């Protein structure tokens, strides 16, 4: 797992002051990592020869672009991804622990609640709710590149993008969230619905730090 931290800002909207403070905090607490802030201007720097971004990418909401890029970056490059939120525990010790164990493909933190995983229906949903403390929080995680886990993750997200691609030609999102009724991609379709079941399936290959968490601010948000 490379000593690298990816941060994403996929649109042309301005960063809020809170996000800018979070970037500074993440940099300050991860001086041993190569912190890579990906924007529209430098996105091509991480596109892999022979595996271009899916043709639907530019049609997606900014949030769904981020959901897709998490899978793309973790499979092809590896390292850590984090939402742009304040977390003060450095990632390097957890990366080093994962790298000392060849059975560990991923690392991260526990979701605050099973509802954050958007559990499925039926037996799968029951298992997700019961065993969520064994699963990765989708807001921040690290992966070794090229594992069976990341391959299945990226393949399924790109399969879904191929399904939605033609629909997106006429039903574009209202940025950044894509919450307009005609936008065809459900909110959780490209991240939680894919990553949560895989996180459960491969939970024996994830090193989870129970003490790691985003900082809770006075406004009640992490």
**Of 158, 8, 152, whose CA–CA distance to 79 is shortest?**
8
CB 87 within 8 A of CB 211: no
Cβ-Cβ contacts under 8 Å for 95 (sequence gap 6 or more): 1, 3, 33, 80, 107, 142
Name the strand (E) or helix (H) holding 22: helix 17-28
Query: Residues 189-209: pLDDT tens digits?
Result: 999 999 999 999 999 999 999
Predicted local confidence at residue 153, as pLDDT: 98
pTM score = 0.94
In the chain, which ranges are E strands?
4-8, 34-38, 79-82, 106-109, 140-143, 206-209
Which pLDDT value is given to residue 108? Answer: 97
> Within 10 A of 178 (CB to CB), how many other CB atoms are there?
21
DSSP secondary structure code for residue 196 in this structure:
H
Give the single-character DSSP code of 48: B
pLDDT tens-digit map of 105-150 = 999 999 888 777 777 788 888 888 888 889 999 999 999 999 999 9
CA separation for the pair 70, 150 (Å, rounded):
10
106-118 pLDDT tens trace: 999 998 887 777 7
In this predicted structure, the answer to whether residue 181 has a pLDDT above a threshold of 90 is yes
Query: 105, 147 in Cβ contact below 8 A?
Result: yes
Q: How far is CA 41 from CA 10, 12, 46, 202, in A?
A: 9, 10, 11, 34
Whole-number pLDDT of residue 127 = 84
pLDDT in tens, 42-75: 999 999 999 999 999 999 999 999 999 999 999 9
- The confidence band for 219, taking pLDDT boundaries of 50, 70 and 90, is very low
Tell me what pLDDT residue 96 has.
98
In the structure encoding, which two tokens stand for residue 111, read together?
């979701």
Residue 26: pLDDT over 70: yes
The Cα-based distances of 127 to 123, 124, 130, 197, 204 in angstroms read 6, 5, 5, 9, 15
d(CA 199, CA 6): 20
Predicted pLDDT of residue 119? 73
- Residue 18 has phi, psi (to 5 degrees) of -65, -40
Q: What is the pLDDT of residue 122?
A: 87
């Amino acid at each position: 797992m490379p000593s690298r931290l990816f941060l994403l800002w996929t649109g042309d909207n301005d960063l809020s002051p809170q996000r800018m403070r979070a970037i500074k905090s993440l940099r300050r607490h991860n001086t041993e990592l190569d912190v890579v802030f990906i924007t529209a201007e430098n996105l091509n720097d991480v596109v892999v020869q022979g595996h271009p971004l899916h043709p639907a990418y530019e049609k997606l909401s900014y949030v769904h672009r981020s959901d897709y890029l998490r899978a793309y970056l973790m499979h092809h490059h590896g390292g850590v991804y984090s939402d742009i939120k304040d977390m003060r525990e450095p990632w390097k010790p957890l990366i080093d622990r994962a790298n000392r164990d060849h059975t560990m493909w991923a690392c991260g933190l526990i979701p605050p609640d099973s509802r954050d995983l958007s559990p499925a229906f039926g037996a799968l949903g029951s298992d997700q709710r019961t065993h969520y403390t064994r699963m990765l929080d989708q807001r921040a995680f690290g992966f070794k590149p090229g594992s069976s886990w990341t391959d299945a993750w990226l393949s399924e997200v790109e399969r879904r993008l191929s399904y939605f691609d033609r629909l997106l030609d006429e039903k574009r999102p209202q940025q950044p969230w894509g919450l307009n009724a005609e936008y065809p991609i459900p909110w959780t379709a490209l991240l939680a619905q894919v990553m949560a079941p895989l996180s459960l399936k491969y939970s024996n290959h994830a090193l989870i730090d129970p003490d790691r968490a985003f900082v809770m601010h006075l406004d009640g948000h992490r």
